[in-house]
Amino acid sequence: MFEESVIRKAESVKASSGVLYNCTAAQKNTLLKALNKRLLSETPAIIAANKIDLANAEKAGISKVLLDRLALNEKRIQQMIDGVKDVIKLPDPVGKVFDKIRRPNGLVVEKMRVPLGAIGIIYEARPNVTIDASVLCLKSGNAVLLRGGSEALYSNKALVEIIKLALKDVKLPSGCVEFIDTPDRQAVVVMLKQDKYLDVIIPRGSQQLIRYIQENSSVPVIAHGEGNCHVFVDSSANLKNAGDIVFNAKVQRPSVCNAAEKLLVHERIAAEFLPKVAARLRQAGVEIRGDETAISILPEIKRADESDWYKEYLDLIIAVKVVKNITEAIHHINHFGSHHSDAIVTGTKSNGERFLREVDSAAVYVNASTRFTDGYEFGLGAEIGISTQKLHARGPMGLVELTSTKFIVHGKGQVRK
Amino acid sequence: MFEESVIRKAESVKASSGVLYNCTAAQKNTLLKALNKRLLSETPAIIAANKIDLANAEKAGISKVLLDRLALNEKRIQQMIDGVKDVIKLPDPVGKVFDKIRRPNGLVVEKMRVPLGAIGIIYEARPNVTIDASVLCLKSGNAVLLRGGSEALYSNKALVEIIKLALKDVKLPSGCVEFIDTPDRQAVVVMLKQDKYLDVIIPRGSQQLIRYIQENSSVPVIAHGEGNCHVFVDSSANLKNAGDIVFNAKVQRPSVCNAAEKLLVHERIAAEFLPKVAARLRQAGVEIRGDETAISILPEIKRADESDWYKEYLDLIIAVKVVKNITEAIHHINHFGSHHSDAIVTGTKSNGERFLREVDSAAVYVNASTRFTDGYEFGLGAEIGISTQKLHARGPMGLVELTSTKFIVHGKGQVRK
């Protein structure tokens, strides 16, 4: 029964994507402005719907942290509105023509940027994603099929209703945004098989959710993987900078994917650097683990075992390894890392360039914190997620990453010999 | 048992990809030159191995056409060698730095082009793919796990042995190219689950094979879909050009994906154009089917039914529909087409531009034959396939499409606030 409903919605999104495909930037911005008007005027309805979710969540005994993530109030709805305003200001990537080649037979071959088409978004608790993700998809000319977490069901339904009102206000098809409201997990399974209608699925949530989707989807997936991020402090590093970067990368927000989980230190400066940085980290409540050499310098720390080097703690824990040189550091990062974000702190230009070239991660840094891996910080203006796969998009994904291209060819009657 | 062997080979390819990641263009070209030397000196061994495949195929009662596709001789091996020479001449896309942004905090964010890593290729009969695909992967810095058709098993094994000799000649790891020699179909199933080691799988073969792979792979897939290609002849078309383009697109090589399967004709010129083009097509042995209006002009043709409009014939058959205007043509193509290659023949510039913008296909043409959708014809220098999906690569795929990017960031000690 819900199977039919999911398929019908996927079909509706696909059909509506044809209309969005040909919308101008002005039309799309008019839609987003209408959405903001509606978000403002319907704020009480959103908060009322959110109250139902909060009450259900409390009954289900959900943690305070998750309750806070779920909660919507006037301030948070204003933040959504501000976010939509930011997207209105961003340039529309669709329609750009580039990579022109004139062939010997006179054909002119170019590429044109076009919407991906129909995008599936599967996400968990936070209801603001309903607006954030929809707005990025719509601005880049894509229709979107949403599947949110069951905890936020009523909030999400209210927000989607508001998007549909805005679509109606500007006479665009209501199917540009559809929402799967069946709490049954099987609805996701059905969604993953709609490759006839969906061009891509972007999952946002736990590693288990993402893993499940990758393994079961016949629709192409852009996945956001783990962040086991490293900072390597080279022998020529400015140790003041190094300390600041390690501290920032570990402590500023330990629960996110671009936080540092590992510290590699060149053996020549380990004895000088480690005690200082360890004191600072410990003051911030960070648990330090280390290899044998690190322990010889910091005797009070716990021994890191093999599994530590692979782990994304997402917590105030860091593992320290003393390495012989940059070669060992690069090998360690490429072998044990998750290819998300890794940094070198060095005073040697050639070592910086080598690190950038040889470390195979979505974002690689010289003398800066790994915490900058983010669409806003990289100047993309917005972010639908951070891809850790190599296909289509790698690193923070903005509007351009929600588009595809097509070849456009101008001829004068040419035929193939 | 073969499961372990497939996993071991995927692992070996992944490990070797790290070495290729850092090879210079000069090193990669030296490898390709060594390969060409080996292909020449080992020609007798290749032909001997191919004789076993041919004998087995004949015993199995394989058709003459397939036997011809399978056969290798000195001339065909020389063609492989010439193909490798062409790839040597192509620029190496790896290492290119672009899209530089300077952020307000002084961070300099750029993108660097890097190899994808480890690529799986699953292909059918033709043994030359073993060399062609490997060479494109190696030149773009990728290691490759090959799974060829069982008919060409001995030929493929001989060719892979030669690649491994060349790798040894230039002291690169033998695991840069691995070949799955288990005829058991289950070996493919195991390969499709090696997302730990493979970054992408590119299938080349029948639609059934590709479909199976898309539905069962946890590794991202770049798929080559069907080509239900259209030529639309507008009312302002130069009818001489239109006739030439329709004839070329249908007749020059009807068995390939960029051949035209459908002819849409503006009602205003249908009575003049259709009898002429029909006579020419019929002389070339083309069966013509049509809608009611087409039949009123060409009474001898067969009625096309609904399913005809969706079909990729890959044969000397074409279905003709008379349309009211360009709007109907575009709707028909976007609805019934396969989004591969579609052309308009028109004398009206604005209609040409509208067609290019609104037809959602991998390649869209004004006044040229759809048969040009091809890596060589588009100036990419080579082609590993034609993608009909929207993610990562769309249309003919050359060396650049076998790469990914990473963000590289230069800082001076910046930390996130």
Is the same domain home to A358 and A259?
yes
Task: Check which CATH number belongs to the domain holding B178 and give it.
Answer: 3.40.605.10
Reported as a single tens digit per residue, the pLDDT across B18-54 is 999 999 999 999 999 999 999 999 999 999 999 999 9
- Beta A341-345 vs A143-147: how paired, if at all? unpaired
* Contact check, Cβ <8 Å, A101/B379: yes
Which residues from chain A sit within 8 angstroms of residue B215, using beta carbons? 218
Question: So what's the pLDDT on residue B263?
Answer: 98
Tokens of A257: 């994917």
Reported confidence tier of residue A225, pLDDT bands at 50, 70, 90: confident
Reported confidence tier of residue B205, pLDDT bands at 50, 70, 90: confident
Cβ contacts from A onto B, under 8 A? 214
Reported confidence tier of residue A382, pLDDT bands at 50, 70, 90: confident
Rounded Cα gap, residues A154 and B242, in angstroms: 57
Per-residue pLDDT for A36 more than 80? Answer: yes
Is the same domain home to B174 and B235?
no
Reported confidence tier of residue A224, pLDDT bands at 50, 70, 90: confident
Whether residue B317 is contained in a domain is answered as yes
* Contact check, Cβ <8 Å, B406/A412: no
Per-residue pLDDT for B185 more than 90? Answer: no
A117: DSSP letter: -
Nearest by CB to residue B411, choosing from A107, A365, A408, is: A365
Structural domain boundaries, residue B92: 2-223+394-410
Is the same domain home to A35 and A159?
yes
Q: Which residue has the higher pLDDT, A182 or A81?
A: A81
Is the same domain home to B269 and B209?
no
Is the same domain home to B215 and B246?
no
Question: So what's the pLDDT on residue A169?
Answer: 98
Task: Check which CATH number belongs to the domain holding B284 and give it.
Answer: 3.40.309.10
Nearest by CB to residue A415, choosing from B248, B406, B407, is: B248
Is the same domain home to A192 and A236?
no
Is the same domain home to A27 and A46?
yes
Q: What is the 3-state secondary structure (H, E, C) of chain B?
A: CHHHHHHHHHHHHHHHHHHHHCCCHHHHHHHHHHHHHHHHHCHHHHHHHHHHHHHHHHHCCCCHHHHHHHCCCHHHHHHHHHHHHHHHHCCCCCCCEEEEEECCCCCEEEEEEEECCEEEEEECCCCHHHHHHHHHHHHCCCEEEEECCHHHHHHHHHHHHHHHHHHHHCCCCHHHEEECCCCCCHHHHHHCCCCCCCCEEEEECCHHHHHHHHHHCCCCECCCCCCCEEEEECCCCCHHHHHHHHHHHHHCCCCCCCCEEEEEEEHHHHHHHHHHHHHHHHHCCCEEEECHHHHHHCCCCEECCHHHHHCCCCCCEEEEEEECCHHHHHHHHHHHCCCCEEEEECCCHHHHHHHHHHCCCCEEEEEECHHHCCCCCCCCCCCCEEECCCCCCCEEECCHHHEEEEEEEEEEEECCC
Is the same domain home to B307 and B201?
no
Rounded Cα gap, residues A180 and B13, in angstroms: 41
Q: By the 8 A CB rule, do B358 and B339 touch?
A: no
Nearest by CB to residue B364, choosing from A358, A395, A406, is: A406
Reported as a single tens digit per residue, the pLDDT across B126-178 is 899 999 999 999 999 999 999 999 999 999 999 999 999 999 999 999 999 99
Question: So what's the pLDDT on residue A215?
Answer: 87
Whether residue B44 is contained in a domain is answered as yes
Reported confidence tier of residue A190, pLDDT bands at 50, 70, 90: very high
Is the same domain home to B66 and B179?
yes
Question: So what's the pLDDT on residue A183?
Answer: 82
Is the same domain home to A65 and A204?
yes
* Contact check, Cβ <8 Å, B368/A222: no
The domain tally of chain B equals: 2
Whether residue B387 is contained in a domain is answered as no
Mutate to test the interface with B, among A196, A407, A410, A417 (most CBs of B within 10 A): A407
CA dist B407 to A362, B95, B174, Å?
6, 12, 30
Q: Could you tell me what percent of chain A has a pLDDT over 70?
A: 100
Whether residue A385 is contained in a domain is answered as no
Chain A CB within 8 Å of residue B218 CB: yes
Which residues from chain A sit within 8 angstroms of residue B409, using beta carbons? 363-366, 368, 372
Reported confidence tier of residue B333, pLDDT bands at 50, 70, 90: very high
Residue A347 makes CB contacts below 8 A (sequence gap 6+) with A234, A236, A237, A238
Question: So what's the pLDDT on residue B248?
Answer: 98
Per-residue pLDDT for B348 more than 90? Answer: yes
Reported as a single tens digit per residue, the pLDDT across B308-317 is 999 999 999 9
Q: By the 8 A CB rule, do A222 and A339 touch?
A: no
Reported as a single tens digit per residue, the pLDDT across B115-139 is 999 999 999 878 999 999 999 999 9
Shortest CA gap B164–chain A (Å): 25
Give residues 366 to 405 of B whose Cβ lies within 8 Å of A.
366-369, 371-373, 377-379, 389-392, 394-396, 404-405
Residue A213 makes CB contacts below 8 A (sequence gap 6+) with A122, A188, A192, A201, A203, A221, A223
Question: So what's the pLDDT on residue A184?
Answer: 85
Chain B CB within 8 Å of residue A235 CB: no
Is the same domain home to A252 and A267?
yes
Whether residue B147 is contained in a domain is answered as yes
Whether residue A382 is contained in a domain is answered as no
Classify the complex by whether its ipTM is higher than 0.90, answering yes or no. Answer: yes
* Contact check, Cβ <8 Å, B112/A372: no
What mean pLDDT is predicted for residues B227-240?
98
Q: Could you tell me what percent of chain B has a pLDDT over 70?
A: 100
Is the same domain home to B200 and B295?
no
What mean pLDDT is predicted for residues A101-130?
95
Whether residue A142 is contained in a domain is answered as yes
Whether residue B354 is contained in a domain is answered as yes
Nearest by CB to residue A214, choosing from B195, B392, B395, is: B195
What is chain B's mean pLDDT, rounded? 96
Rounded Cα gap, residues B384 and B87, in angstroms: 12
